[in-house]
Amino acid sequence: MAGGRRLVDSFGCSTTSLSEDLHFVGAAMHFYRKSGEAPHSVHASASSNAHLIGISMSGGHHREIHHEHHTQRHTFLEQDVYIRTLDEDYKANLSGTFNFALIQIDPDVLAQLADDANMESVLELRRTISTPDPVLGGLINALTLSYQSSLIRERLALAIGIHLVDTYGVATRRRRLARGGLSRRNQNLAKELILNHLDHDLSVESLAEECNMSRSAFARAFKESTGVTPYRWITNARIELSKQLLIDRSLSLEHIAAKCGFADQSHFSRVFAVHFGEPPGSWRRRLA
């Protein structure tokens, strides 16, 4: 408290009542974990046309949402979800538990997620409130436990984004605008950066920055040029490198996993098996 004024965050929550207030970014989406004493009221002014997704991480939360001419009352169970946009004022009274994960998705990021899910006609998410979604709840739990690993964070965040588009995406009749691919220079630059840094954490943001493009524009142009998303191209490159290294039997699977940029040996084995129907150890034995 300063000067008798209540300190609030961008969503209208009192920060003084929060025992947990975490924020990180994954796949260009903003993730928040907020828990503590439920604020008596929330008042957030319209700020943007981004989508906000809230996931109740425990049951017993009650909310009265005040609209211009009526009030809605809802009780949230564990893994219940709400989706709204930030382009309208939001007023609500809260009581009971307060333990939420929040995801903020800007419009251009939503468009890229739709591209990744081959659902280019999706430009918005369906509004909902107090809707059970155990899949999203499970993914969020996994993400909050492992978000400090940038590699795992990016992959889980992308899975969450595609789940949201697939489950709540609203298809439109709007015709997709024609887009060009990457210039030859940027395509060569991006591929060179990927191939020379496979043992590092690679993000679409960093590749886009090197090409002097926004993340969404780069991702769309890269897919237009190569036929696959940057994430898929990176994964394919890691798998191809791993096949070359597996020929050298003096190299352990753990060493190969690290050299190719996988989170660990288990992650390497799972991805390899998806591509070839068997784990790398079995594939290597068949080379004899």
Number of Cβ atoms within 10 Å of the Cβ of 87: 11
* Long-range Cβ pairs for the range 17-26 (8 Å, 24+): 17/98, 22/144, 24/147, 24/153, 26/143, 26/147, 26/153, 26/154, 26/156, 26/157, 26/158, 26/160
**Higher-confidence position of 249 and 170:** 249
CATH number at residue 243: 1.10.10.60
Q: Which domain holds residue 217?
A: 184-285
Residue 9 in domain: no
Structure confidence at residue 179 (pLDDT)? 53
Two structure tokens written together for 198: 């496979």
Q: Which of 171, 198, 219 delimits the end of a domain?
A: 171
Is residue 70 domain-shared with residue 38, that is, in the same domain?
A: yes
Q: Is residue 4 part of a domain?
A: no
- Do 49 and 148 lie in one domain? The reply is yes
- What total number of domains does the chain contain? 2
Do residue 39 and residue 111 come from a single domain? yes
206 and 87 housed in the same domain: no
With contact defined as beta carbons under 8 Å apart, do 35 and 57 qualify?
yes
Q: How far apart are CA 281 and CA 253, in angstroms?
A: 8
Residue 86 shares a structural domain with residue 205 = no
Handedness of CA 233, 234, 240, 243 (dihedral sign): negative
Helices (H), the chain: 107-116, 134-146, 150-168, 184-196, 204-210, 215-226, 230-246, 253-259, 265-276, 280-285
> Is residue 274 very low, low, confident or very high in pLDDT (cuts 50, 70, 90)?
confident
pLDDT digits (tens, 9 = 90+) for 47-75: 888 999 999 999 999 999 988 778 888 89
Tell me: do 99 and 31 sit in the same domain: yes
Exposure pattern of 23-57 as b/e (b: 16+ CB <10 Å)?
A: ebbbbbbbbbbbbbebbeebebeeeeebbbbbbbb
d(CA 6, CA 11): 13
Flag whether pLDDT at 2 surpasses 60: no
Please indicate, yes or no, if residue 8 is contained in any of the structural domains: no
Q: What φ, ψ does residue 164 adopt, rounded to 5°?
A: -65, -45
**Is residue 5 included in any domain, yes or no?**
no
Which of 103-117, 125-139, 227-241, 267-281 has the least mean pLDDT?
Answer: 103-117
78 and 163 inside one domain: yes
The span from the CA of 245 to the CA of 241, in Å, is 6
DSSP, res 81: E
200 and 166 in a common domain = no
Among 149, 171, 193, the domain boundary falls at: 171
Q: Same domain for 190 and 153?
A: no
Tokens read off for 64: 């009265």
Could you tell me if 267 and 136 lie in one domain? no
Domain C-terminal end among 171, 205, 227:
171
More confident residue, 261 or 1: 261
Q: Are residues 31 and 85 in the same domain?
A: yes
- Residue 31's DSSP bridge partners are 24, 103
24 and 105 assigned to the same domain: yes
Residue of 160 and 121 predicted with greater confidence: 160
107 sits in the region (left: phi over 0; alpha: psi -120 to 50; else beta) called alpha
Residue 280 lies in a domain: yes
237, part of any domain: yes
Residue 7 in any domain: the answer is no
Does residue 177 lie in a domain region?
no
Instruction: Render pLDDT for 191-249 as a digit per residue (tens, 0 to 9).
Output: 999 999 999 888 888 899 889 888 888 888 898 888 889 999 999 999 999 999 999 99
Residue 248 structure tokens: 């050298």
Q: Which amino acid is at 14?
A: S
Instruction: For residue 87, give the CATH number of its domain.
Output: 2.60.120.10
